[in-house]
């Protein structure tokens, strides 16, 4: 996988590709099907398969004060795209100046002069250029003028509403983990490095690894049945666990943290990188009258999470290693 941070510096080996364009936040099933179409076109033409995306997400540039909403920061997006057979990703730095570029200039400067794209694949709702004045019809017209083909992929669904990143965000915000999983074709993950906390979980008898949310979307607060990935590449191993997402209101906390307890695991995790896959929602967050009531509830939550994980293990085709997008 080649990651190119500036379209103006596209190496010669990356030119002439079949290029799929989009934000691809979430890399959900609709994105996966669009990329599959581009992959087929690239294979048939004997061309590399590339992605043109934007970093940061345009919404964060136009609405900088909005709460974090990203489903897949760039590092994870690249990993997911690589698992789908993408050979190169051009991540254009998205700024207000770039957003002001006319649609015709975007095609000429980026697709033609920088990338020498041979075939461009976009979704049915693709829009580009200043004030989103360009659409798939304009792209097709400009493609004919500049000598590249354009394929527009129709809305993708499994019989209901089209797959969409906005639907995934809504589902996660409501604690509807199963619905989000069905939209993504995999479990949604939060990842980060374990940081030192106040060791309160260990004092309660349930040691936890604390991970800061950073710029991730914040799903519904509460308890989750999770799978936790440790290691990278061939050394990646998944462990069952339970996670709490919230500010710890029983102790007067204010910062939302992800606290993860791994079952049958007693090794030190400080400084380790964790991938925390949300498998199911156990219950919403709430405040307890005292520590003993909280300890009893934590034991119940662990039992509930074990039961839910066992159910998913029996029925989910990607439970073992969180495939198909690794």
Give me the domains of the chain, ranges plus CATH numbers: 2-153 (3.40.50.620), 177-315 (2.40.30.30)
* CB neighbour burial string for 209-233, b if at least 16 within 10 angstroms, e if fewer: bbbebeebbbbbebbbbbbbbbeee
Question: Long-range contact list for 186-189, CB < 8 A, 24+ apart?
Answer: 186/318, 186/322, 186/323, 186/324, 186/325, 187/227, 187/277, 187/278, 187/279, 187/318, 187/322, 188/71, 188/219, 188/277, 188/278, 189/76, 189/229, 189/275, 189/276, 189/277, 189/278, 189/322
Binned average pLDDT, 10 residues per bin, the chain of 326 residues: 92 96 97 98 97 95 91 93 96 96 98 98 96 96 98 94 96 97 94 77 74 86 95 87 89 84 88 93 92 91 96 80 45
Closest alpha carbon to 91 in 38, 49, 127, 55: 55
Per-residue pLDDT, 320? 64
Rounded distance between C-alpha atoms, residue 124 and residue 34, angstroms: 10
Per-residue pLDDT, 323? 47
Pairing of strands 273-284, 188-195: antiparallel
Task: Please identify which residue in the block is written with the tokens 């940081």.
Answer: 195
pTM equals: 0.91
Per-residue pLDDT, 301? 96
Per-residue pLDDT, 325? 40
Per-residue pLDDT, 271? 87
Contacts of 254 (CB under 8 A, 6+ apart): 247
299: tokens are 């034991």
């Amino acid at each position: 996988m080649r990651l190119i941070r500036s379209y103006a510096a596209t190496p010669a080996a990356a030119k002439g590709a079949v290029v799929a364009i989009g934000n691809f936040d979430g890399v959900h099933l609709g994105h996966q099907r669009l990329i599959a179409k581009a992959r087929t076109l690239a294979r048939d033409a004997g061309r590399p398969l590339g992605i043109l995306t934007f970093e940061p997400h345009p919404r964060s540039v136009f609405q900088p004060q909005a709460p974090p909403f990203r489903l897949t920061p760039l590092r994870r997006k690249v990993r997911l795209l690589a698992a789908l057979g993408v050979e190169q990703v051009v991540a254009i730095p998205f700024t207000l100046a770039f957003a002001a570029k006319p649609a015709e200039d975007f095609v000429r400067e980026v697709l033609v002069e920088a990338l020498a794209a041979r075939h461009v694949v976009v979704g049915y709702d693709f829009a580009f250029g200043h004030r989103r004045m360009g659409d798939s019809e304009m792209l097709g017209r400009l493609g004919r003028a500049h000598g590249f083909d354009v394929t527009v992929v129709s809305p993708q669904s499994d019989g209901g509403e089209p797959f969409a990143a906005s639907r995934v965000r809504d589902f996660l915000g409501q604690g509807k983990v199963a619905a989000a999983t069905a939209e993504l074709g995999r479990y949604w993950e939060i990842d980060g490095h374990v940081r030192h906390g106040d060791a309160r979980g260990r004092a309660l008898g349930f040691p936890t690894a604390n991970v800061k949310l950073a710029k991730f979307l914040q799903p519904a607060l509460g308890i989750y049945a999770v799978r936790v990935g440790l290691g990278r590449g061939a050394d990646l191993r998944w462990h069952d666990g339970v996670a709490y997402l919230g500010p710890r209101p029983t102790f007067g906390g204010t910062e939302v943290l992800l606290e993860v307890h791994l079952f049958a695991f007693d090794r030190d995790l400080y400084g380790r990188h964790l991938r925390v896959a949300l498998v199911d929602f156990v219950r919403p967050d709430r405040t307890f009258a005292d520590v003993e009531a909280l300890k009893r509830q934590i034991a119940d939550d662990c039992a509930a999470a074990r039961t839910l994980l066992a159910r998913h293990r029996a029925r989910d085709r990607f439970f073992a290693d969180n495939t198909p997008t690794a």
